[in-house]
Amino acid sequence: MDKFSKIYIAGHRGMVGSAIWRALENKGYTNLIGQSSKELDLRNQQAVLNFFDKEKPEVVIDAAARVGGILANNDFPYQFLMENMQIQNNLIDSSLQADCQKFIFLGSSCIYPKLAPQPLKEEYLLTASLEPTNEWYAIAKITGVKACEAIRKQFGKDYISLMPTNLYGSYDNFDLKTSHVLPAMIRKFHEAKQSTGKGKQSTVTLWGSGTPMREFLHVDDMADAVVFALENQFQDNLYNVGTGTDLTIKELAELIQKIVGHQGEIIWDSSKPDGTPRKLMDVSKMTQAGWKAKIGLEEGIKSTYQWFLQNEDSFKEVKM
């Protein structure tokens, strides 16, 4: 890949997109372009076509999506389905029409069936029903994977899909109404720690039973995987990206509690849904291709908490 190639990163201001931008800059790529959602509405087909006609990117990385946790997926099913399909369809089709030779589509491990064998292999896609709590987002992402596969098959272009496990890191979403489990825990434990003086610290209530198992990948590792995919030719169209190890939500909570320094009680609200029992990625295909994650979970959470502390003022206006 030429360091002067024009690379368009859709969603470059989000957690994933900004990490990819930093990773590419660090490797010497100098012709990066991005547009904020105010500058370019990716749901608008004509606006996206006009942008591609004007900028003529050679490579497109799709890190743009409407994202959120169980609560957000449950409250806004239509938006999670339709807006994500609009965004990715416009980007994929515009890339094809503009004759972009390389397209990297970022999805999610939620595309796999709820009760698929563990760890999750790429071949399990579309073999059984999805997890109901995020099926709207999953269905949208599956259509993106299949669109890239169809272009690869019909037109012979290097369009690939990377399916990350649960991501976290700098610039994560810490809004308790829409955030994922790890950043939500960081904020809850931090605010419980801050809410009491010298007396007993406030309790923290968390959703579910704490028994589901989850895998977490630092966003800087994800960005490194994208750069690796950019600089190499992959044989297949779909690759899982993760660490290949997981832990229970209870273990995650206790680790975050220790890092934050909260000493109060944890209460598990079992009336709330757990989601998929386990969601561990089989990352053997990426390993065989030559890429592995480098950042350990404790190290990653510590750096994420430090970023949270440095930016805490920007979250105060969105408390529950």
Q: In whole angstroms, what is the distance from residue 16 CA to residue 23 CA?
A: 11
**Residue with the two structure tokens 């979250």:** 315
Half-sphere exposure of 35 toward its Cβ, with a 13 Å CA cutoff?
18
- Judge whether 150 and 93 are in contact, CB under 8 Å: no
Of 137, 159, 239, 305, which residue is the catalytic one? Answer: 137
Does the annotation list 81 as a binding residue?
Answer: no
Does the annotation list 14 as a binding residue?
Answer: yes
- Judge whether 220 and 169 are in contact, CB under 8 Å: yes
Does the annotation list 152 as a binding residue?
Answer: no
Please tell me whether residue 244 adopts helix, strand or coil conformation: coil
Q: What is the DSSP letter of 120?
A: B
Does the annotation list 109 as a binding residue?
Answer: yes
Q: In whole angstroms, what is the distance from residue 82 CA to residue 75 CA?
A: 14
Does the annotation list 129 as a binding residue?
Answer: no
Does the annotation list 207 as a binding residue?
Answer: yes
User: Is the omega angle on the peptide bond into residue 119 within 30 degrees of 0, that is, cis?
Assistant: yes
137 is known as an active-site residue: yes
Does the annotation list 214 as a binding residue?
Answer: yes
Q: In whole angstroms, what is the distance from residue 205 CA to residue 188 CA?
A: 8
Q: Which amino acid is at 57?
A: P
Does the annotation list 169 as a binding residue?
Answer: no
Does the annotation list 167 as a binding residue?
Answer: yes
Does the annotation list 260 as a binding residue?
Answer: no
Does the annotation list 17 as a binding residue?
Answer: yes
* Residue ranges with strand state E in the chain: 7-10, 32-33, 59-62, 102-106, 158-164, 166-168, 204-207, 213-214, 216-218, 238-241, 247-248, 266-269, 278-279
Does the annotation list 275 as a binding residue?
Answer: no
Does the annotation list 210 as a binding residue?
Answer: no
Does the annotation list 141 as a binding residue?
Answer: yes
- The DSSP bridge partners found for residue 60 are 8, 103
The binding site for substrate consists of: 188, 207, 214, 274
Which residues are identified as catalytic? 137
Q: Which residues contribute to the annotated binding site?
A: 11-17, 106-109, 141, 164-167, 180, 188, 207, 214, 274
Q: Which residues are annotated as a binding site for NADP(+)?
A: 11-17, 106-109, 141, 164-167, 180
